[in-house]
Structure 1
Amino acid sequence: MRKAPLVLLVLSFFAFLPAPATAATDLPGGKAYFVVSRGSFKTGTTNWMRLSDYTFTTDGKVRARTYLWQQAKPVARQGTGTTPDSSCSTSSSTPPQTLVRSCQVLTAGGFTSSPNESTPGNYRLDGDQLHITWDVPGWNEQWAVVPSPDGTLARLDFRSNALATAGYGYGSNTPLTTRRQMSSVQSFPGNLRLEFHGWDKGDPVSNGSGFDIGLYRTCTTTSWCLTYRQPESANSCQGGSGCKQGGDTSIQNHVVRVSNTDRRDTHWHWCSCLSINSAGKEEFCYKGNSHVKPMLQILDDNGQFHGWVGVEASFSPQNNRNDDMISAFRVADFR
């Protein structure tokens, strides 16, 4: 039998070799799982807020799971199903000066359900610059990736976005199904600070202040809830908020777990004096324009708590868009 030429045998051999593998893409800061808040806050337009988790993979892909709130489609507040127990709240009409009122905690409509959006995209890294192109026409964004000093956390610093005007993000390799319970949140030893970008009566605003989680009370039976009655001081409950001179200018604060299987928490707060309605009658639990702030926990590679990213989606119950209270924010120690 006549033998096939050697060259044909060599070619046949290479025809069955697998194609070369595509080079793996570096993860942003070496981290796969991020929590991100974004918002569009402009003058003369309706604005929106998105609270997302991003999952990055080494094939250059990213997917965002997102809760969306927008002034064009305002939603009512909804109950979380949690009312703090008597160890950290009171049902008395003349409460002790250290306890909040025992009211069901509210959050932004839709936050107790699954995310509104699931959006795929592609990413690339150019040095410390993260570029994301979403599978939505015209939507791309850029962040600077900043590692924490110990390397267990990566921060995203907002650079640009085709649709948003502000944003905050943090990532680690701790799965998004992991969370810290309220006892460890309350005992966090670091220095948390609130920073936000938002919109107030037609104009973009930004600001920051301290956030001392150690002042909050843990609750005995409703252990997934923290409460804090912020005492009277020169705060936002005076002046333009509607509180009368000499009224109770303390603030009712609640931080509550929304889910035990992911990073969702919520912050609900309101001025005590606003429970006096326009007819002069006291409502024990305020039903008006309270602050509802959905949040996602920031965890490092070791699963340790470092704060939250969040949004405020407090839409006017009277459908007066000028009275909406909206923002994207972070409460974090790594800033």
Structure 2
Amino acid sequence: MKANWVVSVGGLDTAAANNYRNWVRLGYYVFAGDGSVVTNYWTWNLADQPERIDTVTADCTGDVPDCAVKTVEGFPGDTMGGFQGTYGYTSDGRLRITWTKDATGAARDPLTEYWNLTTGLAGDTVARMTSPTYYSSPVQIPPQGVFSDYSASFGIGFGSNAGLGRETRATMSRLVRDARYNARTYTGTFVVANRGAVTRQSTGGSWWFGSGTQTPGDANYGNPWQVCANQQCIGWNQHNSSCDCGSAFPTKNRIRYIAEVGGGRRNTEWYWCQCLAQGRPCYRANSHPRPLLQVVGDDGVFQGWVGVEAFTHVNASTLRPDGDLASGYFGVFDMVQPSLRP
């Protein structure tokens, strides 16, 4: 069993089933040889309407706007919670985790999860675990007891024996300039609760960080991601995307950023349609903040991310949450290189 994992979990269901009480959790699972396991995580609930906050300033070159990259409140700080427990395997080979204590070691009512485990990825440097219906198409919300005996319905995680400290995290400049990373495509699966339903959406398409090594039909042919002058983020003007604000603002471009946040394996993604800014440099209202944790193999090689989206709908004038829970986007996803995909 790989020791150190980055894991995204969500309690996602239809509005008819949970009245928009969706939640997401992003953190680390650490497995020991004695059968014990610990998790520490950041978590957000749609009903709490968590807000976007500014992180580093994206002072990029080219046509990437200079904006403060947003993430979800709380993510730059300490983890918000944790569990301690034990793990083992079911008769059909699934990984069973039972959380019996909170982060302080105090006993709590047990919570059990059942994961599908896949080993031997990326030259056996990475393993993957998924909730049983994470890859199902169409999306299937599992009955309680299939993935968990509580409200967790979807999850994705990748593990290795690499450490979880900041020193294992690939820098932003390496993602763009290192030949091991900049010509590989990164894509994955995004399970999201929005408008009262749970669906699967794209994590942004099959995109990559470099330029010139792919074909002219690719989205960033001759248009690589730009490294910020502060070296803490990268930005990209994704030309001719699916954005559509009508004839008054015809640009189809989508602005994307990835930034370093805090310590450990943390990054954050932030994106929005350029036409929504209506001629201003930055769009500050209903943009998409996505906390991320890097997937790193035993050999220290970056392999992608797991992440969550915690999108609260706000009033475009006040930038404050407006109680429109149906318009929120709460989801879990992975965004990884090809050999980590099923």
Length-normalised TM-score, structure 1: 0.80
Superposed CA offset, 1:2-43 (max 9, x none): xxxxxxxxxxxxxxxxxxxxxxxxxx2xx1000000111111
Q: Does 1:232 align with 2:228?
A: no
Partners of 2:117 and 2:184 lie apart in 1 by: 22
Secondary structure of 2:47's aligned partner: coil
Contact 1:32 1:171 in 2 (8 A): yes
Q: Does 1:265 align with 2:262?
A: no
1:13-162 matches, within 5 Å, as: 28=1, 31-44=2-15, 45=18, 46-80=21-55, 82-85=56-59, 88-89=60-61, 99-126=63-90, 128-135=93-100, 136-147=108-119, 148=121, 150-159=123-132, 160-162=147-149
Letter in 1 for 2:97: I
Q: Does 1:168 align with 2:156?
A: yes
Letter in 2 for 1:250: N
- How many residue pairs end up in the alignment? 283
Partners of 1:289 and 1:300 lie apart in 2 by: 35
Partners of 1:285 and 1:220 lie apart in 2 by: 16
After superposition, the Cα gap between the structure-2 partners of 1:99 and 1:133, relative to the gap in structure 1 and judged at 3 Å, is same
Q: Does 1:183 align with 2:158?
A: no
Structural RMSD (CA)? 1.7
Unaligned runs of 5+ in 2: 101-107, 133-146, 211-219, 315-321
Q: CA deviation at 1:314?
A: 1.1
Aligned to 1:322: 326
Q: CA deviation at 1:158?
A: 1.5
Contact 1:78 1:109 in 2 (8 A): yes
Structure of greater Rg: 1
Deviates more, 1:44-53 or 1:157-166: 157-166
Q: CA deviation at 1:191?
A: 2.8
Q: CA deviation at 1:211?
A: 3.0
Partners of 1:306 and 1:169 lie apart in 2 by: 12
Contact 2:228 2:234 in 1 (8 A): no
Deviates more, 1:313-322 or 1:111-120: 313-322
Aligned to 2:209: 213
Q: CA deviation at 1:321?
A: 0.7
Length-normalised TM-score, structure 2: 0.79
Secondary structure of 2:109's aligned partner: coil
Aligned to 1:19: none
Unaligned runs of 5+ in 1: 1-27, 90-97, 277-281
Identity of aligned residues (%): 31
Contact 1:52 1:66 in 2 (8 A): yes
Superposed CA offset, 1:286-312 (max 9, x none): 121100000000000011000000000
